[in-house]
């Protein structure tokens, strides 16, 4: 993983955790998955409200479809 991709991953996790903790995460967001289209990454995560902990469950690179 490039440094740029890692930085984007770290920023996304901070954004997710901060939004969940503050209760400001959009209601229409898909809890459990977050996509970073520019990096082609899909994050699977879980939020535990009692401990206020965000856990990264999976990290996958999206495949590029041939046209």
Locate 58 and state its tokens: 């999976």
Report the share of the chain in percent with pLDDT over 70: 84
Give the largest CA-CA distance in the chain.
46
Q: What pLDDT score does 9 carry? A: 93
pLDDT in tens, 19-41: 887 877 655 555 688 899 999 99
Does the pLDDT value for residue 6 go beyond 70?
yes
Q: What pLDDT score does 21 carry? A: 78
Q: What pLDDT score does 8 carry? A: 93
pLDDT band with cut points at 50, 70 and 90 for residue 67: very low
């Amino acid at each position: 993983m490039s440094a740029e991709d890692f930085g984007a991953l770290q920023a996304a996790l901070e954004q997710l955790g901060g939004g969940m903790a503050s209760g400001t995460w959009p209601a229409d967001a898909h809890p459990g998955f977050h996509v970073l289209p520019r990096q082609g990454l899909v994050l699977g995560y879980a939020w535990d409200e009692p401990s206020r902990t965000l856990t990264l469950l999976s990290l996958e690179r999206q495949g590029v479809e041939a046209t």
